[in-house]
Amino acid sequence: MRDVAIIGVSQTKFGELWDISFRDLVTEAGLKAVADADIEGAEIEAMFVGNMTAGLFVQQEHIASLIADHAGLTPMPCTRVEAACASGGLALRSGIMAVASGYHDIVISAGVEKMTDVVDPTPAIATASDQEWEAQQGVTFPSLYAMIAKRHMHQYGTTREQLAMFSVINHKNGALNPLAQFPMEITVDQVLNSSRVADPLRLLDCSPVTDGAAAVILCPAEDARKYTDTPIYVKASAQASGTIALHDRRDITTIDSSVHAARTAYDMAGLEPKDIQAVEVHDCFSINGLLAIEDLGFVEKGQAGPAVEDGITQRDGKIPVNPSGGLKSRGHPLGATGIAQTAEMVWQLRGEAGKRQIDGIEVGMTHNIGGTGGTAAVHIFGR
């Protein structure tokens, strides 16, 4: 197996992008990544695109062909990868495996979602849950995560204010990200007084409905410096599965797929949680951000609330979390999220993150999950 490097990344602006189509979004991201890598499109040998549900959001399936066609990359093989909100992370992993195996040399992994083209995105998003036992019974993703939050609060004493702090820190970072959907700061009081969505979760605990795309260019590590002076190396790529429905879990306050994927990634990289200097976690709701820093091993189980309150997840804290603003502030275009996380980590490791730059970062991690944890992808990157 060959080592793999990232030589180019990009992300479109995230938000309610009424004036740009699905196909134009992913093409924009791809072209910007190609320019960042300083390569020709003809050098790309394969593409993997993460997308959760274009069929429901924009009434378009067969998007692999659509994208290759619209980008002028036919007959290059293009493959759609779907794993709910972890589609981007798995598209990245698919590209990494294609290069590592020697099957391809230069690959683009991308992610895209156009979520605002429907009046109500809730039914489409609910397809990431168990249809028979959850969605058809009226359960939505806010209510699923609200149950998790209630149990975590009961079991570990996590407070409503601690949940709010996670969103506040995300927005503090996102305010420095020009590509973020909501680049503004918020306060704990604003979170607590925002509209109730599913108790105890409020509107400002929840990631938004987002349009956007992102892309990453991969090549063998041995060839990376032919293209860039700042290659970023893939130290680990791991994936794990969990139950799709909450009622099958041994403990709904732990995302077992995150735990197993993280352990695999640490073993693959020969690292421990203390070696990670920044992490992009999948905080579709504030409670999931707290679960992530526990499940990835940065704090003991049940201690995420006090840890966030103490400031360890701030950009200058012990483990900076979501320097991009995370899903809450940067936005969450489902299939693009895992790739956007990677783009942020690459910018951080290159020292190109502008005002949100973390000083001296050498090793970073991304964490992307599908649904309530039915799928998890964890990656570790280094300079």
374 and 289, same structural domain? yes
Report the half-sphere exposure of 169 (CA within 13 A, side-chain side). 29
- Residue 344's φ and ψ, nearest 5 degrees, are -60, -45
* 79-117 tens-digit pLDDT: 999 999 999 999 999 999 999 999 999 999 999 999 999
Q: Residues 80, 129: one domain?
A: no
Cβ–Cβ under 8 Å, residues 370 and 331 = no
Among 122, 127, 165, residue whose Cα is nearest residue 142: 122
Per-residue DSSP letter, 253? T
Q: What per-residue confidence (pLDDT) applies to 197?
A: 97
Angle (nearest 5°) at CA 188 between 199 and 125: 45
Annotated active-site residue in 85, 206, 219, 284 = 85
Instruction: Identify the pLDDT of residue 48.
Output: 98
216 and 350 together in one domain: no
155 and 278 share one domain: yes
Q: Do 304 and 340 share a domain, yes or no? A: yes
Co-location of 96 and 198 in the same domain: no
pLDDT tens digit string along 243-266? 999 999 999 999 999 999 999 999
Q: What is the pLDDT of residues 132-167, one digit of tens each?
A: 999 999 999 999 999 999 999 999 999 999 999 999
Q: Which are the contacts of 99, defined by CB distance < 8 A and separation ≥ 6?
A: 2, 4, 105, 106, 107, 218, 219, 220
Catalytic residue status for 219: no
| Same domain assignment for residues 222 and 350 | no
Do 31 and 60 lie in one domain? The reply is yes
85 an active-site residue? yes
65 and 18 together in one domain: yes
> Which of 194, 226, 258 delimits the end of a domain?
226
State how far the Cα of 95 lies from the Cα of 79, in Å rounded to an integer: 10
pLDDT at 237: 98
- CA dist 88 and 111 (Å) reads 5
- Which residues in the chain show pLDDT less than 50? none
Query: Quick one: CA torsion of 364, 142, 371, 89, rounded to 10 degrees?
Result: -30
Same domain (yes/no): 68, 181 = no
Considering 197, 226, 255, which residue would you say is the last residue of a domain? Answer: 226
Number of domains in the chain: 2
Catalytic residue (choose from 104, 171, 260, 332): 332
Both 200 and 311 in one domain: the answer is: yes
User: Apex CA 207: angle with CA 201 and CA 210, to 5°?
Assistant: 150
Q: Which domain holds residue 321?
A: 122-207+234-382
pLDDT of residue 290: 98
Same domain, yes or no: 185 and 241: yes
CATH number of residue 80's parent domain: 3.40.47.10
Both tokens of residue 154?
């009961």
Global confidence as pTM: 0.97
